[in-house]
Amino acid sequence: MSNLLLFPVLIPLLFAAILLFFPKKIRLQRLIAALGAGLALLAVLFLIAKVKADGIQAVTLGSWDAPFGITMVSDLFSALLVLSATVITLFIIFYSFPTIGVAREQSYYYPAVLFLLTGVNGAFTTGDIFNLFVFFEVLLMSSYMLIVHGGEKPQLRETIKYLLVNIISSALFVAAVAFLYSVTGTLNMADLAVKIPQIEATGILTVIAVMFLVVFGFKAAIFPLYFWLPGSYYAPPIPILALFGALLTKVGVYAIMRTYTLFFTMDTDFTHELLGIIAIVTILAGCIGALAYFDVKKIIIYNIIIAVGVILFGVSQLNEAGVDGAIFYLVHDMLIKAALFFLVGIIAVIFGTSNLREMGGLIKTYPFLGWLFLVTTFGLAGIPPLSGFPGKLLIVQGGFEGPQFWGSIVVLATSLLVLLSVIRIFIYAFWGEPVETVPLKKSTYRKMLIPSVLLVALTVLLGVGAELFMPYISGAGEVLLNPSIYIDAVLKE
């Protein structure tokens, strides 16, 4: 019994609460916010070492027995995601120093970021379906505050839509939990995984499974439910956009992965085939958007949707290669999306616009930025030594071994479209005739570049050192494929 797995949730919460007391003292705000995220990162590193050495960590709060209290569970899968979320938040806090602006910093910006991290880490760690709802609301409340932070007209307009969509999906979540409770009589995920296979009427469970897919699909932006994402994510400033793009949809993806591997496995012919088809259509829809726009932010935003489709396709195959690939790609995608938004943010600041048609010739003045961006785009598309490759390779392999081989072909073909969509940014912004740029202070540029370089270096490391990370990834995949390990760890049978 160890409380170590609670620290990644509690440390950001504590530091966010401290930060509420002195909103005007910017330097102290920055220092404490960075300290909070840094300490949380340290705690996660300890946690991962512990989970790797001793197996799944589970704590039932208040010393109640497992199905009666709220259980917090940390297996390798959730620990890896907590690690990526904390790393990204730390970098985003550093990236915010030069970019977010004093007015926003003085209005509770850093507390909101840390509360968001609390919600995300909690959602990754919880072992109780209603507690998952509560952590979803924690992160959504912080995201409402962040998306409207500053109160510009487009932000106000888009927040209304974002808020409405999330209120509806939260109400559906409550309804889905109500149905699940009336069928099974429990809310603990491990206990659900025990009880659901014992129920003979699988029809109602399949309905509930699809309801959960709708609920989490709203958060994760899968095919017919992604309509809110491009507009809403376009409104806030770049650091907030990077935070949302890297973390928020991934929590929905995590929830789908968890529910669809742990307890909704009674009728995989229907539910997982549906998930696979939706994933493929999501990829196609994202590709259309990514190619249609001449706006750097819009292009990356649609790439979020593509990645969600790729990950869910890997999960829907329910075999070792597919699930391992999905986990690898999930971690890779969180890092690379944050890195891409960072770089695109620098480009947009230099040109003073995010319209590709008004850009050009940056390679002459900012060569390092250009090559860094090129490496990142290759990483996104999955060119071999870089981090997008191992995940996608495993997902494609999983697809060929699984029931939907044609899905793998779509994943492969759309990789080219992904590459095309981001390489277009490189071609338009860095090649061609130089256009007039907004003068950018050397120190500001350096402050923006350092977190981006570190994040890109991390993704390169993830790709080059894939062998090093594979034991963790396959350890995480093993728990997803064998729910009995998870159940035993929680219920201690």
Partner 1 sequence: MEIIMSVVIGFLFMAAVYLMLSKSLIRIIIGTGLLSHGAHLLLLTMGGLSGSAPPVVADGVSTADYADPLPQALILTAIVISFAVTSFFLVLAYRSYQELGTDNVNLMRGTEDYE
Q: Which residues bind partner 1 (CB under 8 A)?
A: 130, 133-134, 137, 141, 144-145, 148, 151, 153-154, 156-161, 163-164, 167-168, 170-172, 174-175, 177-179, 181-182, 187, 231, 234, 292-295, 298, 355, 357
Q: Give kind and range of the element (H or E) at residue 130.
A: helix 129-147
Residue number, 359 or 491, with CB nearest to partner 1 = 359
Tell me the β-bridge partners of 355. 295
Whole-angstrom distance, CA of residue 121 vs CA of residue 7 = 10
With respect to partner 1, which residue has the nearer C-beta, 212 or 328? 212
Nearer to partner 1, 295 or 324 (CB): 295
Phi-psi region of 74 (alpha: psi -120 to 50; beta: other; left: phi over 0): beta
Q: Based on CB atoms, which residue is closest to partner 1, 168 or 464?
A: 168
Contact present, 114 and 16 (Cβ < 8 Å): yes
Q: Is the CB of 174 or the CB of 438 nearer to partner 1?
A: 174
Rounded to a whole number of angstroms, the minimum distance from the CB of residue 148 to partner 1 is 7
- Asked if residues 323 and 480 have their Cβ atoms less than 8 Å apart, the reply is yes
Nearer to partner 1, 150 or 276 (CB): 150
The CB-of-185 to partner 1 minimum distance in angstroms stands at: 9
8 Å CB contact between 383 and 463: no
Q: 133 or 223: whose CB is closer to partner 1?
A: 133
Q: How many CA atoms lie within 13 A of 376 on its CB side?
A: 30
Helices assigned H by DSSP within 221-319: 229-234, 238-243, 249-262, 268-292, 296-316
Least Cβ distance, residue 455 to partner 1 (angstroms): 27
Residues 6+ apart with CB under 8 A from 472: 48, 52, 76, 80
Q: Which is nearer to partner 1, 46 or 144 (CB)?
A: 144
Per-residue burial over 333-358, b if 16 or more Cβ lie within 10 Å, else e, is bbbbbbbbbbbbbbbbbbbebbebee
The token pair that represents 356 in the structure block: 């590709």
Residue 120 or 177 having the CB closest to partner 1: 177
CA torsion angle 254 260 264 267 (round to 10): 160
- In which residue are the tokens 């990356």 written? 300
Taking the least distance from each CB to partner 1, the nearer of 46 and 234 is: 234
Number of CB atoms found within 10 A of residue 198's CB: 7
Quote the least distance from Cβ 479 to partner 1, whole Å. 27
How far from chain centre, in Å, is Cα 482?
Answer: 24
- Least distance (Å) between residue 372 CB and partner 1: 26
Nearest to 52 by CA among 32, 74, 68: 74
- Residue 22 C-beta: closest distance to partner 1, Å: 24
Torsion angle of alpha carbons 390, 44, 264, 128, nearest 10°? -170
Radius of gyration of the chain (CA): 21
| Least distance in angstroms from the C-beta of 206 to partner 1 | 17
Instruction: Tokens for 289, please give them.
Output: 């958007």
Residue closer to partner 1, measured from CB, 319 or 355: 355
Q: Whole-number minimum distance, CB 221 to partner 1, in Å?
A: 17
Least separation in angstroms between residue 217's CB and partner 1 is 18
Shortest distance in whole angstroms from residue 3 CB to partner 1 = 23
First to last CA, the chain: 15
**Residue pair 110/241 in contact by the 8 Å Cβ criterion:** no
CB of 379 to partner 1, least distance (A): 27
What is the token pair recorded at 252?
A: 């929905």
- Residue 224 near residue 274 (C-beta atoms within 8 A): no
Tokens of 22: 């002195």
The minimum distance between CB 4 and partner 1, in angstroms, equals: 26
Q: CA-to-CA distance for 117 and 85, rounded, in angstroms?
A: 7
Choice between 148 and 410, CB closer to partner 1 = 148
The nearest distance, CB 290 to partner 1, in angstroms, is: 14
Query: Which token pair is 316?
Result: 């829907």
Nearer to partner 1, 184 or 459 (CB): 184
8 Å CB contact between 336 and 387: yes
